[in-house]
Amino acid sequence: MIPENIKKEYNELKNLIEKYNYHYYVLNNPLISDTDYDKLFNKFIKLEKKYPELKTPDSPSYRVGGYIISEFKTVQHTVPMLSLDNTYNEQDILEFHERVKKLLNKENVDYSCELKIDGISISLRYEKGILSQAITRGNGITGDDVTENVKTIRSIPLKLKEEIDIEVRGEIFMPKKEFLRINEQREEEGLAVFANPRNATAGTIKSLDTSEVAKRHLDSFIYYILNPENYNLKTQYEALIYLKDLGFKTNEHSKLAKNIDEVIEYWKYWTENKKDLDYDIDGTVIKVNSFEEQAILGSTARSPRWAIAFKFPAEQAITKVKDIVFQVGSTGIITPVAIFEPVFLEGTTVQRASLHNFEYIKERDIRINDYVKIEKAGGIIPQIVNVIIEKRNGNEIPVKEPEKCPVCGGEVGKLNPSEVAIRCLNPLCKAKLKRNLEVWVSRDAMNIQGLGPKLINRIVEAKLVEKVSDLYKLDHFKLATLGYGVGPKMISKILQQIEDSKQRGLDKVLYGLGIPNVGKKIAKDLAKKFKSIDNLITAEYDELISIEGIGDDIAQQIYDFFRNDRVREIIDELKKAGVKLENEEITSEGIFNGVSICATGELERMPRSKLKELIEKNGGVFKDTVTKKLDLLVVGKNAGSKLEKAKKFGIPIMTEEEFFNKYNIM
């Protein structure tokens, strides 16, 4: 039996979390800090793990995913999800208005004007206020049950503010920023990019891994209630207000139009201002406001007579592909880029567009000297819509995949058969060097402060460093040759940081080396398993694949990486420089287990690097910046802006003396 006080605590936490979720994701009005929310949520998760029978269908823990779906079941819609007729011009809207007036036998009609969100339609069923089923549009008659995935979308309530049975419909979409982030990530990983946010949304909602859906931060707007008369609603505009009262996210830009002129003005306004939104819209939707009048108008076999999509004119342009050049990215991926004759599109002059990969070129048969139609995906990224075949005259030049790296002349290929990207396979290609160095000096790797991207660029251009191990060969004289802005004081600090970095540990080295698909977690797992770089170099494929989280492809990539002669040369040089290449066991349950700590000011007891080492050795996490999620700030003499920031965020603060008196870690 679960104690009553535990049940009470669980329900109170659940209600609080849903309240904070609603204010953050629906109202865009956070009530507590991220740190306080995370503490609350973690406390809730611990309760569910200890008492799994407490978990209810509306548990906020569903938001993080983690459930693998075997297949999507087909479900029949209660009422068919019809598509809308659409138009692109004012004359058609006026004709629509005339038809409505004639059928209703009245001169004036009120309309609900709403933005047409460019996402995927969804139908949500609630039983006694709890989300029971989420169904995609499908063919309009039946759709796929995607309930588990929809539960991860934080703007969709798992529990309504009323215990009612109701079915609502709306749109799930991907915000523009999220679309850009995901495509950048996919391009870096050699995966095919999404053509637009709508495709990204459709691909995400049909993922079989709910944790992947949760990571993509989909959003929603709900705009329709089935059988509104059951809730004493008389108009669409009343329904939108009721949906918001129930806890759904509704679009704030909806408008009640008293006549057709206001409908047209609404469309004109958003034709001009759609680019200012955080999400894609491809038009407006016009609905007869009265439900009684909607019933009179009825529907055809495919669409309602009481609504129409008033779409925006397509913003596209035609230009010529002057050339297709190859760029080598920081991960070695070779990206073909189209160079256009300059053309003005959506407020800017477009002269180039990424073609992503060579499969993309093949599918669209894009050639040099082709005339192409272009548009901006998500209103931001130029892309080729299609080639204008009829304009070809025989002077078009097909694009061939590169046989060698255009930067270093090294071997090119794919890391695994599932990749679409071709990349330079030389781990020491100069195109990768700057990025390799940026990763190596980053906080998550060797934490060499003072070496930012601009200085790294100058060092590489001056040929002072040609591989990461060359950093440990830098001296005062070499750095002084950089000239302006790099004085003796800066040089001394940088060299000290480089010296301190030698003690960061094996996992930091492994992450910093830039092994394909090896992030911080896998780097730590490798360091824990093999204890030293020598053991890892000689590890067999079977040993690598035995580590949880390392699949066939990653195991092969790690194996191949350490059998590259140039990689071994770097490791030998790191050894000679005194870089620590063995793992030091960290106490997983130390006195700082899970605690994030930052330090500011001048410390007297020890260098900051030593303090970091001691904190991490005792299970803590050392941070270089103050954020809302920080647990403790240690303050030395002449503390600066970090102290003020910590006070502002309400973060616990200790002097250096108080810290070492309380925690005996010397």
**Residues that are catalytic:** 116
Does 7 show up as a binding residue in the annotation?
Answer: no
Contacts (Cβ under 8 Å, ≥6 apart) of 496: none
Does 34 show up as a binding residue in the annotation?
Answer: yes
Does 287 show up as a binding residue in the annotation?
Answer: yes
Q: Of the candidates 224, 349, 218, 235, which has an alpha carbon nearest to the alpha carbon of residue 278?
A: 218
Q: Is 481 exposed, middle or buried (0-12, 13-18, 19+ CB in 10 A)?
A: exposed
Does 627 show up as a binding residue in the annotation?
Answer: no
Does 147 show up as a binding residue in the annotation?
Answer: no
Question: In angstroms, rounded to a whole number, what is the distance separating the alpha carbons of residues 536 and 380?
Answer: 44
First and final C-alpha spacing in the chain:
46
3 state DSSP class of 357: coil
Does 113 show up as a binding residue in the annotation?
Answer: no
Does 85 show up as a binding residue in the annotation?
Answer: no
Does 495 show up as a binding residue in the annotation?
Answer: no
Does 598 show up as a binding residue in the annotation?
Answer: no
Does 137 show up as a binding residue in the annotation?
Answer: yes
Q: Of the candidates 286, 304, 146, 309, which has an alpha carbon nearest to the alpha carbon of residue 220?
A: 146
Does 38 show up as a binding residue in the annotation?
Answer: yes
Does 641 show up as a binding residue in the annotation?
Answer: no
Question: In angstroms, rounded to a whole number, what is the distance separating the alpha carbons of residues 580 and 193?
Answer: 39
The DSSP-derived string for 202-260 is HHHHT-SBHHHHHHT--EEEEEEESSGGGGT--BHHHHHHHHHHHT----TT-EEESSH
The DSSP-derived string for 277-292 is SSS-EEEEEEEESBHH
Backbone angles phi, psi at 353, to 5 degrees: -155, 140
- Whether 288 and 111 have beta carbons less than 8 Å apart is answered as yes
Residue 136 bridge partners (DSSP): 122
Contacts (Cβ under 8 Å, ≥6 apart) of 423: 190, 331, 332, 333, 334, 412, 413, 414, 415
Note every long-range contact of 260-268, with CB atoms under 8 Å and residues 24 or more positions apart, other chains counting.
260/93, 260/94, 260/97, 260/109, 260/111, 262/111, 262/113, 263/93, 263/97, 263/111, 263/113, 263/310, 264/90, 264/93, 266/113, 267/93, 267/113, 267/310
Does 115 show up as a binding residue in the annotation?
Answer: no
Question: In angstroms, rounded to a whole number, what is the distance separating the alpha carbons of residues 204 and 199?
Answer: 8
Question: In angstroms, rounded to a whole number, what is the distance separating the alpha carbons of residues 224 and 231?
Answer: 13
Q: Annotated binding residues for NAD(+), as ranges?
A: 34-38, 83-84, 114, 137, 171, 287, 311
Q: Annotated binding residues, as ranges?
A: 34-38, 83-84, 114, 137, 171, 287, 311, 405, 408, 424, 429
Q: Annotated binding residues for Zn(2+), as ranges?
A: 405, 408, 424, 429
